Amino acid sequence: MNITHKLIFTIALTLAAAPSLTGTAGAQPVESLRRAIAITDATMKTSFTGNDMRMYDTYNTATHQGSGVADVWPYTAALEAHCSVLEALEALKEKAPDLYNENHDRFVTRLRQLYDNLEYYAGSYQLNSYAHVARWTIYGVHRGGSKGTAAVTGIENVYDDQMWICRELVRAYRLTGYDAYLKTAEKLANYCIEGWDCCLDPDGNEYGGISWGPGYNSKHSCSNGPLIQPLVWLADIYRADDEAEDLRHYYIEPDGTRTSVMRRHSDQYMEFARKIYAWQKEKLLDPSRGVYFDMCGAVSGDIKYVKVGRFNYRDHVDLHGANGTAYTYNTGTMLAGAAELYRVTGDEAYHTDLNDLCRNSLQRFSTRQRVNGRIFRTWPTDPEATSGFNTWFDDVLMRAYVDAYPYNDTNSSTDALNSFLEDLDYAWDNFRRDDLLPIHLVKGWDNGDVTKGFHQLAFASEYAMLAIWQATQPEPEPDAIGSIHGSRDPYDAGSHTFYALSGAPSQPPFHRGIYIIGGRKVMVK
């Protein structure tokens, strides 16, 4: 093997910390977790202010000033990042006990503080839904002046916000055992289920689907798919041999009568996880590309009601066909849903969907970019940090690849996760500013100095979930591993060509990671 100058190739017979073809292991997941912690801490310092944890909408990395007030959706990303870090700390506790001891309790404490101050987005109102009239306390789009006073009527609350919060609070409960998280998560799940269109079509079947919010008739991928995963988790929590039937379910009889029945929580949540998944697959999957459309628009924007007995109930409004941009997160929620449903049911239909979605999303959403002589696989990015949400959308898809990985029969999830890790690492090594990253991970701060805490928290969550994934990888075959120590400078490789795991030829300078040379796996340290 003819590799000279600054490049030294050493066959390592025992490399417990070396990566395998399916991912990375050993010391590298700990470093990913360290970076997740650093980004989270930096974001909490720069994008949050005061004891009430008011979140800025944007932060200027040059002037070190925050501005605006974030909506509840970006605030939820702080819950997500803290849950992801805590999950990774638990997963890597044996590998990095000092890191666990230094950070676990303070992340638990700060998560509780975030939850307590989430109440600035809370408000109460009466919802006249399809089969039930009740008063609810949920979360509005905008932050209120004091706890519990946020506007939540009409278009001031949307179901997807409740779903994202529900998801993170179920995670928070599983990580800490704090009952308030579970109670709030269940309340939000029940509220979203109330948004299910249970009106009956001429054949006696429910129209199905959940509108974007109580003030909308359109039905979106983002107001259906995000609920599937937390519903399965809630079913897991409540399922027991002696589980009582103490959850009331409301529905419509064929004669239009609104009625109810008592059900077990686990039955209710699993049934709706399946129903929502089936509805979205039928209505919003793009059969030509194998990923998900954004929405089905309504033929009318007017909310309709029908009077039955003493109450006015919401009535069905017909929809147009599926349309809109295929965003990464809408496919991500269905991929995560397929993974959870397959895990619990063993239904091969979900397994098939999972494999298809891994393959199709990788092909549809990732692109090749050459930067400084290196080929990267990159994901959708907005022109500038203030013009969109693709950074967080990609986070949703990435964490779905982590969920799908144990069941994915192809290399699609592995290739995707390796690319996310490579892009993040490149940005960290080359463009980091006070532990914050640009949204253009492989190009840097070419779009200006402004960032959003929303995006930074997405990066933190990605790094934490990647650490968990890295730590699950199998140990490599010791006689098939090589290690390149030191240089990332140009080299004389003789007749050998380096290939990245994706199969693309690679050229120096080399980033830390794994390559193929002369038929062997090689790690650049």
What is the pLDDT confidence band of residue 473, given thresholds at 50, 70 and 90?
confident
Across the beta sheet with 319-323, the strand order is 219-220, 295-298, 319-323
Q: What integer pLDDT is reported at residue 37 of this predicted model?
A: 98
Average pLDDT over residues 403-432: 97
Q: What integer pLDDT is reported at residue 23 of this predicted model?
A: 45
What's the rounded Cα separation, in Å, for the pair 443 and 428?
Answer: 12
Res 14 pLDDT > 50: no
What is the tens place of the pLDDT at every residue in 325-370?
Answer: 999 999 999 999 999 999 999 999 999 999 999 999 999 999 999 9
What is the tens place of the pLDDT at every residue in 395-407?
Answer: 999 999 999 999 9
Q: What integer pLDDT is reported at residue 447 of this predicted model?
A: 85
Res 29 pLDDT > 80: yes
Q: Is 166 in contact with 78 (CB distance < 8 Å)?
A: no
Higher pLDDT, 130 or 506: 130
Token pair of 521, please? 């796996």
- Domain segments of the chain: what residues? 1-22+478-525, 23-473
DSSP string, 57-112: SEEETTTTEEES---HHHHHHHHHHHHHHHHHHHHTTTT-HHHHHHHHHHHHHHHH
Q: What integer pLDDT is reported at residue 476 of this predicted model?
A: 55
What's the rounded Cα separation, in Å, for the pair 234 and 124?
Answer: 24
What is the tens place of the pLDDT at every residue in 480-509?
Answer: 444 443 333 333 343 344 544 444 445 555
Paired residues of 507 in beta bridges? none
Task: State the Cα angle at 180 between 176 and 183, rounded to 5°.
Answer: 115
What is the tens place of the pLDDT at every residue in 139-161?
Answer: 999 999 999 999 999 999 999 99
What is the tens place of the pLDDT at every residue in 185-202?
Answer: 999 999 999 999 999 999
Does the domain at 23-473 match CATH 1.50.10.20? Answer given as yes
Res 268 pLDDT > 90: yes
Query: In terms of Cα–Cα distance, which of 371, 372, 288, 373 is closest to 381?
Result: 371
Res 126 pLDDT > 80: yes
Average pLDDT over residues 438-459: 96
What is the pLDDT confidence band of residue 517, given thresholds at 50, 70 and 90?
low
Res 382 pLDDT > 60: yes
